[in-house]
Amino acid sequence: MGTGSGSHLPNDLIDCRRLIPRCPAGFFFGAAIPWRQSRSSGIDRQWTLPSRPDSSCIEFRMADFQDPELRALLSLSLTKGVGPRLQTVLLQRFESGVEVLRQSAATLSTVNGISPRLAEEILATARSSAVDSILQRCAESNIRLLCKTDDNYPTYLTHVDDSPPILYCRGTLLPQDNLAVGIVGSRRCTMYGRQQAERLAGALARAGFTVVSGLARGIDAAAHRGAMNAGGRTIAVMATGVRNIYPPEHADLAMEIIDAGAVVSEFPLDQKPLPGLFPQRNRIISGLSLGVIVVEATRKSGALYTARHAFEQGREVFAVPGPVDSIASEGCHDLIRDGATLLRNIDDVLAELGPLTTPATSGESLTVHDPRELTLNAQEKEILNLISRTPVAVDELLRATQLDHSRVLSTLTVLEMKRFVRRLAGNLVVRANWPTSVCCIRGSGKSEAGPQNEV
């Protein structure tokens, strides 16, 4: 399924059992991943990720799950009829999940969008055992729950309207993942699109970026693989639960991503794929990213939903051009016409992302104020990391490093030429003054050829 939505789900799923040797019922050869049939969702088969129980950490995680705010937010997310917008409205009104559940049904029903029946449903879910059941399963499967108050909750996602109060996370989210770029595109991509997605993802990973995508067929899968092949990190944002992988043939890919990053979702563990959930999750892909790259997209591609979210969130939007007569690239060409940055290589990404409002930490444990710093060599990074927004004397820099004075001075000259630092009177240096915004909305921010339904 692509990074967009559709009016119906595809009925042409591959029967993987025909492609592999026979093995015991309920398991597939190699991955030993149980599958099950689901008639109600319209999906013939779903892959269920195997649990990786670790008895040494289950007790710790269950203790971690006793946070009252986490439990309250989880209860709200499990309530039928309460989506991200209503959760945001409730939290803005009562300031915390705990306070929401302390209200009476009559008080809750005064909130815009909350009917008396839904208010009763919110309180009924809080009284049920649903929360304890989910927490126990998360502990047994080594799945972490992150709320906005958690230090590991993605920094840039907290600034997005209607950001998910709860994230299910399988794998690890690291501080360096704040340096992330999303790559999306059509699931029915051409060989050209697949090659460009892998090339760009690999280049971004080698530069130190985390690649974010949606685990879909086509461009998404190529982006994930390109990042991992380059030894980098990648995050998959799912429109299903983290225990149910869609599309089913990407179960092995999901396990690789867990080892090289994380698989995350805002939806309950067993959530099945539904058309409306895909455009909803796309706001998380763009929200996790400093910018979004659309590699290949038709005018009906669901990837344009992600581009629209990125524009609205103030992220940079990049589009990879294709042949002028290619239907597969018409959506990208429209984005470029309407203000997106034409992307040729990673240098275009670094040039457009600009400075960060909140400094991030790279994989080398260095503070990054501007993504362009990732292209510097080790010596340049070391010297630059000693310089802040506060002017510092050159003599102090010479004492703070073990490098030869001549190397320090020549490196300062190079950094000045690259516009990373400025020299001030009194033999002082300071970080160069840059615009304060992270990303500027380029052009109108919306394509007239808006995204149509595509699964």
| pLDDT, tens digit (0-9, with 9 covering 90-100), for 195-236 | 999 999 999 999 889 999 999 999 999 999 999 999 999 999
pLDDT at 435 over 80: no
pLDDT at 7 over 60: no
What is the pLDDT averaged over residues 190-198?
A: 95
Mean pLDDT of the chain: 81
pTM value? 0.75
What is the pLDDT averaged over residues 244-273?
A: 93
pLDDT at 98 over 80: yes
pLDDT at 371 over 50: yes
92 versus 61: the higher-pLDDT residue is 92
The CATH architecture of the domain made up of 55-140 is Orthogonal Bundle (1.10)
pLDDT at 50: 55
What is the pLDDT averaged over residues 256-262?
A: 95
Q: Is the domain defined by 371-431 classed in CATH 3.40.50.150?
A: no
CATH of 1-40+155-370+434-455, one of 3.40.50.300, 3.30.70.3280, 3.40.1110.10, 3.40.50.450: 3.40.50.450
As annotated, the residues of the chain forming the CATH 3.40.50.450 domain(s) are: 1-40+155-370+434-455
Across 14-28, 102-116, 213-227, 288-302, least confident range: 14-28
**Which of 207, 282, 265 minimizes the C-alpha distance to 5?**
282
322 versus 356: the higher-pLDDT residue is 322
As annotated, the residues of the chain forming the CATH 1.10.150.20 domain(s) are: 55-140
47 versus 419: the higher-pLDDT residue is 419
Across 63-77, 260-274, 325-339, 362-376, least confident range: 362-376
For residue range 27-83, list pLDDT tens digits in order. 333 333 333 333 333 444 455 555 554 433 444 455 556 788 999 999 999 999 898
For residue range 134-151, list pLDDT tens digits in order. 999 998 888 999 988 888
pLDDT at 400 over 70: yes
Share of the chain above pLDDT 70, in %: 79
pLDDT at 10 over 80: no
Across 134-138, 285-289, 318-322, 349-353, least confident range: 349-353
pLDDT at 41: 39
As annotated, the residues of the chain forming the CATH 1.10.10.10 domain(s) are: 371-431
pLDDT at 447 over 50: no
pLDDT at 381: 85
pLDDT at 347: 87
pLDDT at 446: 39
